[in-house]
Amino acid sequence: MPDTIRFTLNGTPVNLETDADRTLLWVLRTDLERTGTKYGCGLGICGSCTVVVNGRPVHACQIDLEFVQGKEVTTIEGLAQDGMLHPIQQAFHEHGAFQCGYCTPGMIMNAYALLLENPRPTREQIVAGMERHLCRCGAHKRIVEAIEEARHA
């Protein structure tokens, strides 16, 4: 018996008839065709699948649709507005704060939530706030620099 799931995705209402226990990550990537959110570990420990739900970063691989019922979900596809990059995206681009780009959506979404909560983080707070995100290419230095720049934007 499918459930009715309603939430807001990047400002647009979503209405799904499906099982409420399905995982948000896979529903985003399949039914909703938002493939910017990536699978990395499936255990909520690498951060690649980070999306923002009601202003808080969550691991989309760890939450089901029930959790987002009635909430506002923002994914990497929802940050740029009217063809203009969000300041965090712009800063990542300017600083070359990515290499392969696979962890990048999760990094940016976490940084976005970090700055929502604390618009003027110190460098230490940025490092602590990004600590649970993994980047294999080693773009860490530039990611921190990009977030430092975005906090002034």
Residues that bind other proteins (CB under 8 A): 22-23, 26, 29-30, 33-43, 45-46, 48, 75-77, 79-80, 85, 89-90, 92-94, 96, 98-105, 108, 127-128, 130-131, 133-144
Minimum Å gap between C-beta 31 and other proteins is: 8
Minimum Å gap between C-beta 7 and other proteins is: 18
Nearest residue (CB) to other proteins, 6 versus 136: 136
Minimum Å gap between C-beta 54 and other proteins is: 20
Give Cβ neighbours of residue 31 (< 8 Å, ≥ 6 apart).
Answer: 16, 18
> Which backbone phi and psi does 42 adopt, to 5 degrees?
75, 0
What letters, b where the CB count within 10 A reaches 16 and e where it falls short, cover 89-128? bbbbeebebbeeebbbbbbbbbbbbbbeeeeebeeeebee
Nearest residue (CB) to other proteins, 7 versus 107: 107
d(CA 33, CA 56): 22
Nearest residue (CB) to other proteins, 39 versus 72: 39
d(CA 59, CA 40): 11
Minimum Å gap between C-beta 90 and other proteins is: 8
Nearest residue (CB) to other proteins, 75 versus 115: 75
